[in-house]
Structure 1
Amino acid sequence: MTRTKAMAWAGGASYFLVVGLLVGAAPRASGTAHGVGALLAVTLLADVVRRMPLLALSLALLGSTAVVVGPPSSGQESLATSYQGQFLSYLAVDLVLGLVVATCLRRASIAAVSVSFAVQLLVIGAFSHGDALAVNEVISVLALAASCLAGLLIRERREHAVELRAQEVAEAVIAERLRIARELHDMVAHSIGIVAIQAGVGSRVIQTQPAQAREALHAIEATSREVLSGLRRTLVSLRQADRETTTTEQPSLAPSPGLADVERLAAATAGAGVHVDVHRTGERRPVPADIDLSAYRIVQEALTNVVRHAGTGRCRVAIDYGDEELSVEIVDDGHGAADHGPAHGFGIIGMRERAGLLGGHLSAGPRPEGGFRVATRLPLPAPVPVAVETR
């Protein structure tokens, strides 16, 4: 027998001991004292209520009925007054009944309410006389109804809390799936696009220009290694539950890319036939990791669209480190919206989601003078002031 079960059984035994003292050992006490004593004695059933609420209700109903049907008080109060005081013991039953309604199955709760209602009405009807009969019955019904209503409210609040928790978990899962989908799309789409273009170039010049074909193969190898590293990093993040595996594998993985890698991204894009001019303005400084990664992914996706759809050999990336926001703009002079990608693609949607999650804004569309423009503004947190020690 576990310690918790032993405490529950000890509480039940103590309850019956107290009820026995109230019934047989205190005959001169008033009926109100008997009723209040039985009401307080139900606290001894706390462990039984928590583990076996139906058993606790049975014990409370049996003990309270024993107090009522036991010998009436031999004090100065009348017989009717004595029984009215003893009826207070049924408030303990109503208290336990409310917990039963709040925690047990609906069918068991209905049975418990029916039995308690029947026993209380029968006992009160048998020991009440005259005008007190109707009053005691009404009070008993009201007390029982109040306890049941309180139990229903507790039950509904608990079920609502469970539903909210399940909804939060579902939303977190969906958000994580969307994040992973964006990562895979931005990472794989860009790299595979470059691989496809380089493979096409290599296949066309392999016979006539072997040196250029060799460069294309080197570019394919480097891009493939980069996308494999990114995929490995994403898969490891999906297995965070395995702490030991994560700890052993994480040091060998490259860190997440950021704005510092834009020049390397531009070099890879140049290998696919699009020269990228990168301009940085403002005070270049580290930015939070989530903003750094999102800005990089937006640039990466925009350059992927230029390589695939713009039909141009040049584009420009402008990065401005403002005091309150980070601005990134990618502009090309290609075909514009007509051939900039299918309407059902996920690239621009993913870029907008990234900016929106950070409280920023992204606009993408054709330019009046031709070409396409992607611009985003990501708010930066206020710098933390550093205290300077003066001497």
Structure 2
Amino acid sequence: MSATPLRPLSGGSSFEGSSFEGAALEGTSSAKPWWSAPPGVWTALAWCGGLVFTFLIRVGLPGEEEPPVLAGVLFHRWDGLTFLALATALALDGSRLLSRRPLAAVGRLLAAAVLGTLPLSVGEIPLAQFLAVDVALYAIAAAHPRRTGRIAVTMALGVLAGFLATRWLSGWNTGTSAELAVALTAVVAWLMGTSAHQSRAHAEQLRDRATAQAVTDERLRIARELHDMVAHSIGIIALQAGAARRVIDSRPARAREALGEVENTSRETLAGLRRMLGVLRAADLVDGGRQDGPAGTPGLADLDGLAVATTAAGVKVEVRTVGAPRPLPPEVDLSAYRIVQESVTNVVRHAGTRSCRVTVEHREDELAIEVVDDGRSHGASADTGYGLVGMRERVGLLHGEFSAGPRPGGGFRVAARLPLPAGVR
């Protein structure tokens, strides 16, 4: 990944202060397990394994008086070995194309199965030569649209039927029973892949429903906070206005003080209302899509707008983007923006520093966010708000990781990792 140079932001909008607590996020990532290799690798290994098996059953191994299967006339000759070499080249090329051009890959693998059968002097395509096709059928059915899987299995069954028909019409020996077993393995491989595809689609639907429910729960939480804030503020305004009315003639100074409190409370309440209404106007997730409200949905593209109020508050923000930005799901984009917004605002309110650094890293399967400053550690003055709780809830709803805490060398660090759906990776 390449990192863009640091650039100062020109400003931003402030947000409600929040508390900071917890340990620092550990950024270590585990290596991928061996079984997560691309499907093409498994297909190539299946072909090579079948080729080795073909040779082993045609030679006399220790403990055997004679090979289980007699080698054909061409098996040990140069022309037979040439057929096997060409078949292996086709199979490896098909394995290479499996992810990008699945049907072309199946065509090459089927051609390799037929070509690899010629020097064996058998009446059918053996399972060992068809094993790579079975692996490809599973991979295609599991990872590609259903139509592609159906075409692939039809191609496989058609080649098996055509091979048998050609031999039968030519008057040659035909291993129909053995070929039916090979056809059965192809159908089973396709059905298993289709089942895996359906399971993954069902899991994605459940995740979409959980995300929609999370958005609803978040809005209900905001509505409760809005009610509490407005009820408290209006109560204060009513008390101060009543006090000013009663003493405006006898104690003008006290009346002016009460009216000043009314003004300050009104301004703070109005600012809070605008912020919360902006959140409530966020995009509605409909079938995984996005419908913007009047103000649209904020995201990482709005960091420049966020910086306006931050600069006005006297704190310079430096943003570093690592990796190539790409379109993100609305829930991930909104949560990432809110995390940065909360973190930067806490720097303004509690850190006592003139600058902070924001790093947004676009990784292959996740979005990583880090906000650090060199100010004083945020202590008791920061743990009365709901910002940290809100950030942790947002990250938890997306099945990510979140941490916030003092840095060993001084200052404070907020870090979050938001996993990306498979379709975005």
Name the TM tier (shorter chain): 0.3 to 0.5
The one of the two structures with greater contact order (alpha-carbon pairs below 8 A, sep at least 6) is 2
Larger fraction in helix: 1
TM-score (norm: length of structure 1):
0.47
Asked which structure has the greater CA Rg, the reply is 1
TM-score (norm: length of structure 2):
0.44
